[in-house]
């Protein structure tokens, strides 16, 4: 059983990573081809850092991901608080299911619906250039919101209300009790919501395809728009860099977390 499970996991992960591995290997290819490896070189990495448009789109992507995730986290955390306290079950259920629509709905419908809204609003207000960074920010925030609420709401539910009461008995104002006692408790949920929103925003292509304007292009859009000619090999270099960065970060976080766990355990053992 043990060996079976290990072999199975190895095989699946190998298949999952095969295309990515190919991409990484060929980003170091000297020639411009994905089928014949002609020699090791950093040529495409050099090209990447000379490509100002690609770097600009990367910057746009990162800004947008951070901003939309932060905005979604802000709105979503308070929404989760409000939903947790809400006594009108009917209203609560309605808000919950409407919030979840972008999560259930296919991306393409979300994108199309947003575009129709913006175009119609532009028509009414007589604006000729409504699409742009703001519409992108709105769209990305909207599809991140349900994920934020999803990860924060359970934390509010788990929170023991008597702690809040204790804080208020000890002289906290209600707002003070929230910020000093309750918020630190739900923070892990808030952070995982933020990371979720960040990831989704960075990866999104379909919705951006419909609500973007040419002056604010994100990385997936930039890659897609190369498709009339040829996808640049420097894009593979960029992806390799992204993978390496993320992998390093995640491992670092996990490693640090592991140390934390160990010291906590040691502390408990000495008690």
Binding residue (CB under 8 A) for other proteins from 40, 85, 163, 263: 85
67 touches other proteins (CB under 8 A): yes
Query: Which member of 14, 104, 166, 259 binds other proteins (CB under 8 A)?
Result: 104
- CB atoms inside a 10 Å sphere around CB 185: 15
Q: Does residue 103 belong to the site contacting other proteins (CB under 8 A)? A: yes
For residue 233 the two structure tokens come to 């090999």
Q: Does 234 bind other proteins (CB under 8 A)?
A: yes
Give the dihedral of Cα atoms 151, 157, 159, 160; nearest 10 deg: -170
**Closer Cβ to other proteins, 216 or 270, answer by number:** 216
- Rounded least distance, CB 144 to other proteins, Å: 11
- Closest to 148 in 3D by CA, of 85, 95, 71: 71
Whole-number minimum distance, CB 216 to other proteins, in Å? 7
Shortest distance, position 43 Cβ to other proteins, whole Å: 8
In DSSP notation, 179-240 reads: IIIIHHHHHHHHHHHHHHHHHHHHH--HHHHHH--TTS--HHHHHHHGGGS---THHHHHHH
Residues 156 to 215: which contact other proteins by CB under 8 A?
A: 174-175, 178, 184, 187-188, 190-191, 194, 196, 199, 202-203, 205-206, 209-210, 212-215
Q: Which two tokens stand for residue 96?
A: 């919950």
Distances (CA, A) of 123 to 32, 129, 168, 247: 46, 10, 52, 46
The answer to whether 39 contacts other proteins (rule: CB under 8 A) is no
Taking CB under 8 A as the rule, does residue 13 contact other proteins?
A: yes
Q: Determine if 86 is a binding residue for other proteins (CB under 8 A).
A: yes
């Amino acid at each position: 059983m043990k060996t079976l499970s290990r072999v199975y996991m190895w095989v699946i992960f190998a298949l999952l990573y095969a295309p990515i591995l190919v991409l990484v290997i060929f980003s170091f290819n000297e020639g411009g081809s994905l089928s014949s490896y002609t020699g090791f070189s950093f040529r495409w990495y050099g090209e990447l850092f000379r490509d100002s448009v690609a770097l600009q789109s990367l910057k746009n992507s990162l800004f947008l991901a951070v901003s939309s995730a932060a905005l979604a986290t802000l709105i979503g955390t308070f929404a989760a608080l409000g939903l947790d306290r809400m006594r009108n079950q009917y209203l609560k259920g309605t808000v919950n299911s409407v919030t979840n629509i972008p999560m259930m709905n296919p991306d393409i419908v979300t994108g199309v619906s947003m575009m129709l809204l913006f175009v119609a609003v532009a028509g009414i207000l007589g604006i000729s250039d409504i699409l742009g960074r703001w519409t992108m920010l709105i769209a990305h925030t909207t599809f991140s919101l349900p994920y934020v609420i999803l990860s924060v709401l359970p934390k509010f539910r788990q929170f023991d209300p008597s702690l809040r009461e204790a804080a208020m008995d000890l002289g906290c104002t209600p707002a003070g009790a929230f910020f000093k006692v309750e918020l630190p408790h739900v923070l892990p949920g808030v952070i995982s919501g933020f990371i979720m929103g960040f990831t989704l925003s960075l990866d999104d292509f379909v919705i951006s395809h419909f609500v973007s304007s040419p002056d604010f292009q994100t990385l997936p859009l930039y890659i897609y728009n190369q498709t009339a000619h040829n996808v640049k090999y420097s894009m593979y270099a960029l992806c390799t860099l992204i993978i390496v960065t993320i992998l390093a970060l995640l491992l670092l976080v996990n490693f640090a977390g592991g140390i934390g766990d160990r010291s906590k355990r040691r502390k408990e053992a000495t008690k």
